[in-house]
Amino acid sequence: MPVETKTTCPYCGVGCGVIATVNDDGIVSIRGDQDHPANFGRLCSKGSALAETIDLEGRILHPEINGKRATWDEALDLVASRFSDTIAEHGPDSVAFYVSGQLLTEDYYLANKLMKGFIGSANIDTNSRLCMSSSVAGHRRAFGADTVPGTYEDMELADLVILTGSNLAWCHPVLYQRLAAAKAARPEMKVVVIDPRRTMSADIADMHLAIRPDGDVALFTGLLAHLSGSPAVDHAFVEDHTVGFDAAMQAATEHSLPDIAEATGLTIAELIPFYELFERTEKTVTCYSQGVNQSQSGTDKVNAIINCHLATGRIGRPGMGPFSLTGQPNAMGGREVGGLANMLAAHMAIESAGDRDRVQRFWASPAIAEKPGLKAVDMFRAVADGRIKALWIMATNPVVSMPDAGAVEAAIKACPFVVVSDVMAKTDTARHAHVLLPSLGWGEKDGTVTNSERRISRQRGFLDTPGEAKADWWQMAEVGRRMGFGAAFAFRHASEIFAEHAALSGFENLGSRDFDISGVDPKVYDGMAPLQWPRPQAGDAGTTRFFEDGRFYHADGKARFIVTALPEVDRTSADYPLTLNTGRIRDQWHTMTRTGKSARLTAHIAEPFAELHPRDAQALGIESADLVELESPHGKVLLRALISERQARGSVFAPMHWNDQFASLARIDMVVAPVTDPYSGQPASKNTGVRARRF
């Protein structure tokens, strides 16, 4: 008899429900789960091809030490002793974990607990730093907590959906399908796409604003200024529930419309219709993703958007609100457990002595990190200069995905002790590991993930354990035990970790923190249906929106307007005259270690490419399908020329996915500058000055 398992897609932050069927012949088939409230049965190309990526080719099936097969005891003893010895000699800040939004919440929880509560350092950061940390920082500044107010349903209920810095059609395809269906059912709904490129998402747009790279702060500052004196401003809401409106509005109105046009690269004739559309449309949702977050002004972009929603009171109500779309399947879960170097577990603040004391008492831990740890870019700099002497990398491939990837690879190569936990044996990062630990993959492991609308779903195992692979949480629990922290890491099943995570979220909470799932009964874990947080009490809370009551999480209960200065955005020069913008393509995921296995997915776009405007290509003597060398001060890559009117003049787009297994000299992050946002530490992966030449 075929056996069906309800689980969750492991790719993007939409978090679609999947039904995996293991047929009598052992063949696995995949379909969308009609009952899952994220996708109602829909899947995109990547989700549909999941069964094509679960073979064991290329998997690591046994622990290895220095490239030789080892037992688990040998590997774990070595990891525990090297970390303990390094800490004893150089202190807790001499070690680090670099983890991932691909981890399940239970894995993430234990990594954070081990580092912050027992090792006593906050040197744990995650590839989610590259994904949505600017949203986290912007939310905390505006709301006093990292709260995503709305739900996917709000996009369908809105009369105006603004997509800024989001190629929803390719990066969150099922959400795009939902939006397109809602617009088809209600053609009066308006969609505005703000993006330097005319992406596929613009195909359903009523308006496409080809903004200059990083012009978003100026665009939304100009919108706030446009709202000055408008009846769209909700003065009662502003008065009762916010602080700082006058200062933000005064700063905004100091910029003239021609200044805004100059800063955005848009004409006044393009700006005014957009501003008037926002002004007259109460039910507006502004969705944003990496084009906003991956920027040196990412946090200010987030706050410039939120400012406009606060001014109009369009937040916390159906069909309204700013909406951060997370890239990864469990970036949100990582935020919940404190997986970022500057956060504590359960949305508590590492800067707060009260929160540190609370978490330490709950864990009964010997230590608690006293200060924020190193964020991703700084962490690898610390590896490079020898401050970090032992590094554990889990479920991520920084040698491909970090900016200035060549320098990151050199740092990892020079690090005295590197542990890598992964499913694939020969990733660009795994080949530099002293200890390589085989992890369970999708379909094998058990746990939970949280999607962009705060919905927690179960990932369930339905495949046999390959070789000696083990869950990531088990690996950390074993190392914690061997470092002498026994009782605190005596977990036998992921459900026990979830129960502790849920209990911590409610510990001395009293409504003072947004993240609270203490009402979820851990006994229902195996059969748990998708649920949205918060869930402080038992029972089905249905759809949840934050801020419906106008109460925010700053001490006075009020939201904050943030004054956002217009940033310097031009990173080009005479030597490097083009702006490089990196991003996803429709059918690949991250560094292709899984999706690269599917011939069907690879057929969509078979080679890494550099997308150029025809006039730029002509000026450079580059023709379609030529090989193009892109170069910055950090490195160079070789890509296939794709010449397209969709591309803005003066810019070049290249996909982030290719690693050296699939094409040599195609790691685009070799070229990307390691420039970061000053608040979030998120790298500016969409704005590096480069030059291009025909190869």
Binding site for ligand SF4 (CB under 6 A): 9, 11-12, 14-16, 39, 43-44, 46-47, 172-174
CB of 288 to ligand SF4, least distance (A): 17
Question: Nearer to ligand SF4 by C-beta: 15 or 438?
Answer: 15
Q: Which helix (H) or strand (E) holds 356?
A: helix 353-363
CB of 38 to ligand SF4, least distance (A): 7
SS3 for 261-279 is HHHHCCCHHHHHHHHHHHH
Question: Nearer to ligand SF4 by C-beta: 173 or 534?
Answer: 173
CB of 54 to ligand SF4, least distance (A): 14
Structural tokens at position 375:
């964020």
Question: Nearer to ligand SF4 by C-beta: 12 or 292?
Answer: 12
φ, ψ dihedrals at 497, nearest 5°: -70, -45
Structural tokens at position 255:
């910029």
Q: Which residues pair with 642 in a beta bridge?
A: 611
CB of 14 to ligand SF4, least distance (A): 4
Tell me the three state secondary structure of residue 18.
strand
Structural tokens at position 194:
């703000």
Question: Nearer to ligand SF4 by C-beta: 173 or 403?
Answer: 173
Question: Nearer to ligand SF4 by C-beta: 518 or 595?
Answer: 595
Cα angle value 309/146/581 (rounded, 5°): 75
CB of 65 to ligand SF4, least distance (A): 35
Structural tokens at position 548:
């419906």
Spell out where 303-440 has E strands. 321-324, 390-394, 417-422, 435-438
- In the chain, what is the straight-line distance between the N-terminal and C-terminal CA atoms, in Å? 57
Question: Nearer to ligand SF4 by C-beta: 172 or 558?
Answer: 172
Question: Nearer to ligand SF4 by C-beta: 444 or 587?
Answer: 587
Separation of alpha carbons 442 and 465, rounded Å: 11
- Does the CA dihedral 12-13-18-24 come out positive or negative? positive
CB of 658 to ligand SF4, least distance (A): 19
Question: Nearer to ligand SF4 by C-beta: 120 or 173?
Answer: 173
Tell me the three state secondary structure of residue 470.
strand
CB of 48 to ligand SF4, least distance (A): 7
Query: Using CB atoms, what's the residue nearest to ligand SF4?
Result: 47
CB of 472 to ligand SF4, least distance (A): 20
Question: Nearer to ligand SF4 by C-beta: 16 or 285?
Answer: 16
Separation of alpha carbons 393 and 383, rounded Å: 12
CB of 74 to ligand SF4, least distance (A): 37
Residue bearing tokens 């354990």: 465
- Does the CA dihedral 113-531-493-65 come out positive or negative? negative
